[in-house]
Amino acid sequence: MRAGTLSRICVVLAACAALAASSCSRHEAGEPQSRSRTLIVLAAASLADAFREAGSGFEAVNPGVHVDFAFAGSNQLRSQLESGGPGDVFASADRRQMEAAAASGAVDSGSTTPLCGNRLVIIVPRQDRAGVHELADLARRGVKIVVADRAVPAGNYTRRMLSRASELSRFGPAFVSAFDANTVSREQNVASVVAKVALNEADAGLAYSSDAAGGNGSKLTVVPLPVDLEQHAEYLVAVASGARDVALARKFIAFLLSDDGQGALANRGFERAVHP
């Protein structure tokens, strides 16, 4: 009885293996003319929508090429690359993470290029019950603010904005301590900040202007920061040192910098890259 069960399980497993093998071989046989090439792109979570669009555009003009994406916090992706994880292209949401990746040899530092820009903004839920119209409103008692943790690029920009504000006479240290007292959560990525504001659980959050152009955009209102406190996020892209197909990786980066690629980024609220 027990042997019977075991052999039946073996038959099922063997059948699964055969099925998997046949689907693999069919996959290979399906693209006979140009050998199929796969590009692995590791990109900051905020780039997800724009990169998916750019990826399909790239696949359309490069038959036989398949682009796979991994989206996460730039710091997580960098440590993946550094520990030998697979990846051909790395796009980070700030210079700090890209420089760290270059320093550890995870990316080819000569290939590093500015990709696009983004801007730190205040996001407010559509049913703005706390009445947040400007940065100063965030110091009012009882306003619930969600920020990104300082380890995340968005949180780093938030801290920088606050330390600048503490030096300005119309804000000052009192504003910063009121802001901190109103902070109800330090999220581990900017997407969680956006989600909690979009769900109307927080009265305001600090995120990127591109987030307001994303899937949750219709649930959010954007309040810009005062001009003297603006924070520009600089996104960079580079070829990973472990890239298996450096030529293809370079081609993808060139595509991102082309009008098609920059158009996909602009559609999602990103600003054009500033080339030095």
Chain positions contacting other proteins, by CB under 8 A: 73, 75-76, 144, 146, 149-151, 183-188, 192, 196, 199-202
Rounded to a whole number of angstroms, the minimum distance from the CB of residue 188 to other proteins is 7
Least distance from other proteins to the Cβ atom of residue 159, Å: 13
Please report where in the chains the tokens 């209102």 appear, as a residue.
Answer: 221
Nearer to other proteins, 125 or 261 (CB): 125
The CB-of-97 to other proteins minimum distance in angstroms stands at 12
First to last CA, the chain: 74
Place of tokens 């902070």: 183
| 34, 63 Cβ separation under 8 angstroms | yes
Task: Please give the single-letter amino acid code of residue 25.
Answer: S
Identify which of residues 36 and 185 has a Cβ nearer to other proteins in the complex. 185
Our CB check for other proteins shows the closer of 200 and 258 to be 200
Q: Which is nearer to other proteins, 152 or 257 (CB)?
A: 152
The residue among 114 and 217 lying less far from other proteins, judged by its C-beta, is: 217
Distance, in Å, from the CA atom of 58 to the CA atom of 62, rounded to the nearest integer, reads 6
Q: Are strands 89-92 and 232-239 parallel, antiparallel or unpaired?
A: antiparallel
Q: How far is the CB of 192 from other proteins (least distance, A)?
A: 8
Instruction: State in angstroms the smallest separation of the CB of 38 from other proteins.
Output: 29
Distance CA 118, CA 25 (A): 43
CB atoms within 10 A of CB 46: 30
Q: Tell me whether residue 2 or residue 26 sits nearer to other proteins (CB atom).
A: 2
* DSSP-assigned letter for residue 225: P
CB of 186 to other proteins, least distance (A): 5
Identify any residues that bridge with 146 across adjacent strands, giving them in sequence order: 185, 205
* Exposure letters 16-45 (e unless 16+ CB within 10 A, then b): eeeeeeeeeeeeeeeeeeeeebebbbbbbb
Minimum CB–partner distance for residue 20 and other proteins (Å):
25
Nearer of residues 42 and 115 to other proteins, judged by Cβ:
42
> Residue 139 has what DSSP assignment?
G
Count of CA atoms in the C-beta half-sphere (13 A) of 31: 13
Q: Based on CB atoms, which residue is closest to other proteins, 75 or 209? A: 75
Minimum distance of other proteins from residue 204's CB (angstroms):
13
Distance CA(232)–CA(121), nearest Å, equals 10
Q: Which tokens sit at 234?
A: 């600089």
